Chain A
């Protein structure tokens, strides 16, 4: 079956670091995406991992372990504008994207 698990909600303080975890079980795996989605808006691309390891892009980093079916998104120096939902998305190939239900992050002043 296809299953992606991520926490429903997280809260963190402005300036802090937060890690959003994602575990997955999919039939076929060709990479994992993280998307950010503000309320009422379309998802926007944050990162893509296909090999094991850490990908860093500014304040955002994403990690993948294919053997463990595990990924995390790390957000540093949190800002109020980072309050959004973060979607863990598995790409199983042939244009098939499997979306997690998203983690709603609230950043508090």
Chain B
């Protein structure tokens, strides 16, 4: 089973700042990574798939990059509504698909 490790666990950021979230896979997953945003009490929301493809209606401030074992989700200018936990997920080769433990983004 492929292990996805996210860092940091928590990030405190001021509105307008640039945010970079990291996700590392225990083995190469090519570009088979998705990112999700989960706000308190809500279901997750797909942000990025195939490492860098944007989901429908995703604000332009969100972008994804990476391949192999290292992946990044970037929020170019943090907005207050971006307070959430962000999860990465791999879907390389065969199931089980696995998720990172999440990075919580707090507004400073």
Q: Report whether chain A binds chain B.
A: no
Residues of A within 8 A of B (CB): none
Residues of B within 8 A of A (CB): none
